[in-house]
Chain A
Amino acid sequence: MTLQQDVDVLRKVPIFAKIEPAKLKLLAFTSEHLEFMPGDALCRQGEPGDAAYIVLEGEADVLVQTERGPMKVAHLGRHDIVGEIAILCDVPRTATVVATTRLVALRVSKDGFFNLVTQFPQVAIEVMHELASRLLQTTTRLTEVSARLRELEAAEH
Chain B
Amino acid sequence: METSIFGFIARYSWRQQLLILVLSVLLLPLNYLSYELPKQIVNRALGTDSAPHYLGYTMSRLDLLWVLCGLFLAVVLISGLLKYIVNVYAGVVAERMLRRLRYQLFSHMLRFPLTHYRRVSQGELVQMINAETEAFGGFVGEAVSTPGLQAGTLLTSLVFMFVQDWTLGLAAVALYPLQIWLIPKLQRQVNLLGKERVRQVRRNAEKISEVAAGARDIRANGATAYERARFSEQLGAVFWIRFDIYKKKFLIKFLNNFIAQLGPFFFYAIGGYFVLRGEMTIGALTAVVAAQKDITAPWRELLTYYQNLYDVKIKYEQVVTQFMPPGLKDERLQTEEPEVIPSLTGELRASGVTLHDETGEILLENVSFVCQLPSHIALLGPAGSGKEEVTLLLAGLVEPTAGRITVGGMELHTLPEAVLGRRIGYVGNPTTIFSGTIEDNLLYGLKYRPQRPRAGAEDALERWERERREAEASGNSLHDPLADWVDYAAAGIAGPEERIGNLVRILELVRLDGDVYGLGLRSAIPPGAHEELKRGLLEARRAMQQRLAGSEQLSRLVELFDPERYNSNASLAENLLFGSPVGQVFDPDDIADQRYVRETLERTGLLDDLLQVGVRLAQTMIELFADLPPDHEYFRQFSFIAPEDLPTYRALLTRVDGSRLDRLSREDQRLLLAPTFRLIPARHRLGLFTPELMAKVLEARRYFREHLPPQHAASIAFFDPERYNEAITIQENVIFGKIAYGQAQAPQKIARLITEIVDQLGLRGGIMTVGLGSPCGIGGGRLSLPQRQKLGLARALLKRPDILILHDPLGPLDLNEQAEIRGRVLAECAGRTVIWALQHPEWAEAFEQVIELEGGRVVRFGPSGGKPAPAAKLVAAS
A40 in contact with B624 (CB, 8 Å): no
Q: How far is the CA of A27 from the CA of B45 in the complex (A)?
A: 101
Shortest Cβ gap from B750 to chain A (Å): 14
Q: How many residues of B sit at the interface, in one of the four size bands?
A: 10 to 19
Task: Give chain A residues whose Cβ lies under 8 Å from the Cβ of B744.
Answer: 34-37, 40, 42
In this complex, what residue of B is CB-closest to A42?
A: B744
Q: How far is the CA of A25 from the CA of B637 in the complex (A)?
A: 16
Q: Which of A19-73 contact B (CB under 8 A)?
A: 22, 25-26, 28-30, 32-37, 40, 42
Q: Which of A6, A37, A42, A111 contacts B685 (CB 8 A)?
A: A6
Q: Which of A2, A30, A42 contacts B686 (CB 8 A)?
A: A2
Cβ of A4 within 8 Å of any chain B Cβ, yes or no, is yes
Q: How far is the CA of A38 from the CA of B111 in the complex (A)?
A: 66
User: Which of B638, B686, B742, B744 has the most A CB atoms < 10 Å from its CB?
Assistant: B744
A30 in contact with B637 (CB, 8 Å): yes
A25 in contact with B624 (CB, 8 Å): yes
Task: Give chain A residues whose Cβ lies under 8 Å from the Cβ of B625.
Answer: 26
Task: Give chain B residues whose Cβ lies under 8 Å from the Cβ of A1.
Answer: 685
Shortest Cβ gap from A102 to chain B (Å): 10
Cβ of A3 within 8 Å of any chain B Cβ, yes or no, is yes
Shortest Cβ gap from B13 to chain A (Å): 68
Cβ of B550 within 8 Å of any chain A Cβ, yes or no, is no
Cβ of B634 within 8 Å of any chain A Cβ, yes or no, is yes
Q: Which of B569-628 contact A (CB under 8 A)?
A: 623-625
Cβ of B687 within 8 Å of any chain A Cβ, yes or no, is yes
Cβ of B468 within 8 Å of any chain A Cβ, yes or no, is no
Task: Give chain A residues whose Cβ lies under 8 Å from the Cβ of B634.
Answer: 26, 30, 115
Cβ of B633 within 8 Å of any chain A Cβ, yes or no, is yes
B556 in contact with A35 (CB, 8 Å): yes
Task: Give chain B residues whose Cβ lies under 8 Å from the Cβ of A4.
Answer: 687
In this complex, what residue of A is CB-closest to B621?
A: A29
Shortest Cβ gap from B172 to chain A (Å): 88
Q: How far is the CA of A19 from the CA of B634 in the complex (A)?
A: 19
Task: Give chain B residues whose Cβ lies under 8 Å from the Cβ of A29.
Answer: 624, 638, 684-685
Q: How far is the CA of A111 from the CA of B636 in the complex (A)?
A: 13
In this complex, what residue of A is CB-closest to B740?
A: A35
Shortest Cβ gap from B633 to chain A (Å): 6
B629-640 interface bits toward A, Cβ cutoff 8 Å, 1 = contact, 0 = none: 000011001100
B686 in contact with A34 (CB, 8 Å): no
B720-750 interface bits toward A, Cβ cutoff 8 Å, 1 = contact, 0 = none: 0000000000000000000001111100000
Q: How far is the CA of A148 from the CA of B213 in the complex (A)?
A: 67
Q: How far is the CA of A111 from the CA of B634 in the complex (A)?
A: 10
Q: How far is the CA of A52 from the CA of B57 in the complex (A)?
A: 112
Shortest Cβ gap from A13 to chain B (Å): 18
Cβ of B711 within 8 Å of any chain A Cβ, yes or no, is no
- Beyond A1-B685, A35-B744, A40-B745, whether A30 also contacts B638 by CB under 8 A is yes
Cβ of B164 within 8 Å of any chain A Cβ, yes or no, is no
Q: Which of A56-106 contact B (CB under 8 A)?
A: none
Shortest Cβ gap from A10 to chain B (Å): 13
Q: How far is the CA of A4 from the CA of B633 in the complex (A)?
A: 23
In this complex, what residue of B is CB-closest to A30?
A: B638
B686 in contact with A3 (CB, 8 Å): yes
Task: Give chain A residues whose Cβ lies under 8 Å from the Cβ of B741.
Answer: 32-33
B685 in contact with A3 (CB, 8 Å): yes
Cβ of B48 within 8 Å of any chain A Cβ, yes or no, is no
Q: How far is the CA of A34 from the CA of B687 in the complex (A)?
A: 17
Q: Which of A2, A33, A37 contacts B687 (CB 8 A)?
A: A2
Task: Give chain A residues whose Cβ lies under 8 Å from the Cβ of B685.
Answer: 1-3, 6, 28-29, 33
**How many A-B pairs with Cβ below 8 Å?**
46
Task: Give chain B residues whose Cβ lies under 8 Å from the Cβ of A2.
Answer: 685-687
A34 in contact with B743 (CB, 8 Å): yes
Cβ of B553 within 8 Å of any chain A Cβ, yes or no, is yes
Q: Which of B255-307 contact A (CB under 8 A)?
A: none
Task: Give chain B residues whose Cβ lies under 8 Å from the Cβ of A111.
Answer: 633
In this complex, what residue of B is CB-closest to A28?
A: B685
Task: Give chain B residues whose Cβ lies under 8 Å from the Cβ of A34.
Answer: 742-744
Q: How far is the CA of A36 from the CA of B745 in the complex (A)?
A: 8
Q: How far is the CA of A37 from the CA of B556 in the complex (A)?
A: 10
B742 in contact with A22 (CB, 8 Å): no
Q: How far is the CA of A115 from the CA of B634 in the complex (A)?
A: 10
In this complex, what residue of A is CB-closest to B633?
A: A111
Task: Give chain B residues whose Cβ lies under 8 Å from the Cβ of A37.
Answer: 553, 744
Q: Which of A28, A35, A115 contacts B743 (CB 8 A)?
A: A35
Task: Give chain A residues whose Cβ lies under 8 Å from the Cβ of B742.
Answer: 32-35
Q: How far is the CA of A36 from the CA of B637 in the complex (A)?
A: 24
Q: How far is the CA of A40 from the CA of B742 in the complex (A)?
A: 13
In this complex, what residue of B is CB-closest to A107?
A: B744
Q: How far is the CA of A31 from the CA of B634 in the complex (A)?
A: 11
A22 in contact with B638 (CB, 8 Å): no
Q: How far is the CA of A32 from the CA of B684 in the complex (A)?
A: 9
Q: How far is the CA of A4 from the CA of B620 in the complex (A)?
A: 12
In this complex, what residue of B is CB-closest to A6?
A: B685
Shortest Cβ gap from B56 to chain A (Å): 104
Task: Give chain A residues whose Cβ lies under 8 Å from the Cβ of B637.
Answer: 30
Q: How far is the CA of A32 from the CA of B685 in the complex (A)?
A: 10
In this complex, what residue of A is CB-closest to B687?
A: A2
B78-102 interface bits toward A, Cβ cutoff 8 Å, 1 = contact, 0 = none: 0000000000000000000000000
Task: Give chain B residues whose Cβ lies under 8 Å from the Cβ of A28.
Answer: 685
Task: Give chain B residues whose Cβ lies under 8 Å from the Cβ of A42.
Answer: 744
Shortest Cβ gap from B636 to chain A (Å): 11
Shortest Cβ gap from B555 to chain A (Å): 12
In this complex, what residue of A is CB-closest to B743?
A: A35
User: Which of B624, B638, B684, B686 has the most A CB atoms < 10 Å from its CB?
Assistant: B624
Q: Which of B534-564 contact A (CB under 8 A)?
A: 553, 556
Task: Give chain A residues whose Cβ lies under 8 Å from the Cβ of B553.
Answer: 37
Q: How far is the CA of A42 from the CA of B743 in the complex (A)?
A: 11
Task: Give chain B residues whose Cβ lies under 8 Å from the Cβ of A3.
Answer: 684-687
B737-779 interface bits toward A, Cβ cutoff 8 Å, 1 = contact, 0 = none: 0000111110000000000000000000000000000000000
B650-693 interface bits toward A, Cβ cutoff 8 Å, 1 = contact, 0 = none: 00000000000000000000000000000000001111000000
Task: Give chain A residues whose Cβ lies under 8 Å from the Cβ of B743.
Answer: 34-35
In this complex, what residue of B is CB-closest to A34?
A: B744
Shortest Cβ gap from A34 to chain B (Å): 5
Q: How far is the CA of A30 from the CA of B683 in the complex (A)?
A: 10
User: Which of B633, B685, B743 has the most A CB atoms < 10 Å from its CB?
Assistant: B685
Task: Give chain A residues whose Cβ lies under 8 Å from the Cβ of B633.
Answer: 111, 115
A26 in contact with B624 (CB, 8 Å): yes
Task: Give chain B residues whose Cβ lies under 8 Å from the Cβ of A25.
Answer: 623-624
Q: How far is the CA of A110 from the CA of B633 in the complex (A)?
A: 13
Q: How far is the CA of A79 from the CA of B637 in the complex (A)?
A: 26
In this complex, what residue of A is CB-closest to B742?
A: A33
Q: How far is the CA of A6 from the CA of B684 in the complex (A)?
A: 12
Shortest Cβ gap from B780 to chain A (Å): 28
User: Which of A25, A32, A35 has the most B CB atoms < 10 Å from its CB?
Assistant: A35
Q: How far is the CA of A25 from the CA of B686 in the complex (A)?
A: 10
Q: How far is the CA of A34 from the CA of B746 in the complex (A)?
A: 10
Q: How far is the CA of A111 from the CA of B687 in the complex (A)?
A: 26
Q: How far is the CA of A22 from the CA of B628 in the complex (A)?
A: 12
In this complex, what residue of A is CB-closest to B623?
A: A22
Shortest Cβ gap from B39 to chain A (Å): 90
Task: Give chain A residues whose Cβ lies under 8 Å from the Cβ of B686.
Answer: 2-3
Task: Give chain A residues whose Cβ lies under 8 Å from the Cβ of B638.
Answer: 29-30
Extra inter-chain contacts (10) besides given A3-B686, A30-B637, CB under 8 Å: A2-B686, A22-B623, A22-B624, A25-B623, A25-B624, A26-B634, A30-B634, A30-B638, A32-B741, A35-B742
Closest 7 CB pairs of A and B: A2-B687, A36-B744, A33-B742, A3-B685, A34-B744, A26-B624, A30-B638
15 CB < 8 A contacts A-B: A3-B684, A3-B687, A6-B685, A22-B624, A26-B624, A26-B625, A26-B634, A29-B638, A30-B637, A30-B638, A32-B741, A33-B685, A35-B742, A35-B744, A36-B744
